[in-house]
A and B are shown apart, each in its own frame.
Chain A
């Protein structure tokens, strides 16, 4: 029995809880209105076709609204506080190596298994096979896809390491990003054209819905704890690095292979 007083659920609390959930649900519903309007307009006015399986669509939408509401609630009580408490804990511990190792693991670990990346890498294997960079056989293609996935995962790990280091040092984010862009532009000139589209897209697929809130909370948490940093100016930017470095790394990968 730990702190029994906290475990008693009063009717008033339940009522407040239900009201909070309902409020979030109406918010989620509002977020979905544009999609419903767009799909309905194009289906009815432009394509002039009836809705197929209307019942399934309605059930699906209810799922989406409830799911989005739960997700937003979970952010506020789970992911955000967790990211912040990790930031505080690392700051208290004061070990730079531990913090950077954590940043790398978070970036690498969340990216290597990312389904969107696996899909893009498999497609890239086909492109490379067709273009004759590698033998056009199944093992060669899957080898290529795996190497590409490792490249992207390492690049995201490196991005978070660099991003966290930047927060600690207080470097302005735009010099690093603009420097990165210039690198991308220069490398685009030298990389084989087939890899360019894949490289640009791989920047977008690396940041999953669960990683983003955690990383944002970590960055803002660090910027709050460290003296002389402002959360808005220094806390954001980690995700930006995580979208830029994969482009550079994949272009480099295309040039090496």
Chain B
């Protein structure tokens, strides 16, 4: 019974996401473009798929993963406190391991990232593989969330990390293949949505409230920022790796594909 109520609630939330988009699309279609939409019924079916799919996805996450992920984040931070308690940032080894593993795993399942990587594979004619791109982004999120956890434990100021990260990104941007740059920057924005945000936020708030001297309000923020910054680096790094791997063949390998 509760699962039914949860489903309805998730459906309403997804509808609330879709509604403004639908209003804007229909408004512009009727008032500005004044053209019939081709394949209208097919599009409508697609929208229904997205709506039902996201709803089920959200319900499933809430039933299965979020409660578990959140209690795990709390319990792991508690372990860090009880063991040793030397006050060193190294006490939290399992927390960092969890941060890295859950950052990677949730990003691989992130629907918005699946969408962008499919589009990128499509547009690049297969030169960028959807799976490779997603793994590159997930590695970036893993590194980012881990560093974010270290930052909360050590209490070092957030801007230092972010500014250092920006400098690395700028240097990479100047050196790397121009074609990957827009995609790399986009990856930073899409990593943090449905799956990653709730668990990562729980981790940040759990850590900030468990460690003495940290305030959940001031130190709990910032993990998301890390999770959006590091994928930019890892995607540009991925592009370099792909290029190296293709270089042994003759240049212009794209033309060889059927």
**Taking A102-B28, A102-B32, A188-B163 as contacts, is the C-beta distance between A205 and B54 under 8 angstroms?**
no
CB-nearest residue of chain A relative to B119? A216
Chain A residues near B146: list those with CB within 8 A. none
How many of chain A's residues touch chain B, expressed as a range?
Answer: 35 or more
Do the beta carbons of A72 and B114 come within 8 Å of each other?
yes
Do the beta carbons of A210 and B64 come within 8 Å of each other?
no
Is A34 in contact with chain B by the CB < 8 A criterion? yes
Do the beta carbons of A38 and B101 come within 8 Å of each other?
yes
Do the beta carbons of A127 and B21 come within 8 Å of each other?
no
Partner of A80, one of B27, B119, B178, B179: B119
Distance (whole angstroms) from the CB of B53 to the closest CB of chain A: 3
Is A196 in contact with chain B by the CB < 8 A criterion? yes
Do the beta carbons of A210 and B18 come within 8 Å of each other?
yes
Chain A residues near B21: list those with CB within 8 A. 106, 109-110, 210-211, 214
Interface size of B in residues (CB-CB distance below 8 Å) = 104
Is B192 in contact with chain A by the CB < 8 A criterion? yes
Do the beta carbons of A77 and B42 come within 8 Å of each other?
yes
The digit string for B176-203, where 1 denotes a CB below 8 A from any CB of A, is 0011011101101111111101000000
Is B16 in contact with chain A by the CB < 8 A criterion? yes
Do the beta carbons of B158 and A231 come within 8 Å of each other?
no
Do the beta carbons of A205 and B61 come within 8 Å of each other?
no
A36 to B195, CA, bound (A): 13
Is A233 in contact with chain B by the CB < 8 A criterion? yes
Do the beta carbons of A113 and B16 come within 8 Å of each other?
yes
CB-nearest residue of chain B relative to A98? B32
Do the beta carbons of A60 and B61 come within 8 Å of each other?
yes
Do the beta carbons of A126 and B32 come within 8 Å of each other?
no
Partner of B159, one of A79, A105, A188, A242: A188
The digit string for B78-101, where 1 denotes a CB below 8 A from any CB of A, is 010000000000000010001001
Chain A residues near B114: list those with CB within 8 A. 31, 68, 71-72, 75
Chain A residues near B163: list those with CB within 8 A. 185, 188
The digit string for A30-74, where 1 denotes a CB below 8 A from any CB of B, is 011011011101110011000010001111111111111111111
A93 to B31, CA, bound (A): 13
Chain B residues near A170: list those with CB within 8 A. none
Do the beta carbons of B182 and A234 come within 8 Å of each other?
yes
Distance (whole angstroms) from the CB of B147 to the closest CB of chain A: 14
Chain B residues near A212: list those with CB within 8 A. 112, 115-116, 189-190, 193
Distance (whole angstroms) from the CB of B238 to the closest CB of chain A: 15
Do the beta carbons of A63 and B228 come within 8 Å of each other?
no
Do the beta carbons of B181 and A67 come within 8 Å of each other?
no
Is B35 in contact with chain A by the CB < 8 A criterion? yes
A56 to B67, CA, bound (A): 11
A80 to B162, CA, bound (A): 33
11 residue pairs of the A-B complex, CB under 8 angstroms, read: A47-B76, A67-B59, A74-B53, A106-B21, A201-B225, A207-B190, A208-B112, A210-B54, A213-B112, A220-B123, A233-B182
- 13 more CB-based (< 8 A) A-B contacts, given A57-B65, A196-B159: A38-B104, A69-B53, A71-B114, A74-B47, A81-B43, A93-B33, A174-B181, A200-B162, A201-B221, A201-B224, A236-B185, A242-B189, A243-B228
Q: 6 closest pairs, A vs B, by CB?
A: A78-B46, A60-B64, A74-B49, A63-B60, A70-B53, A67-B56
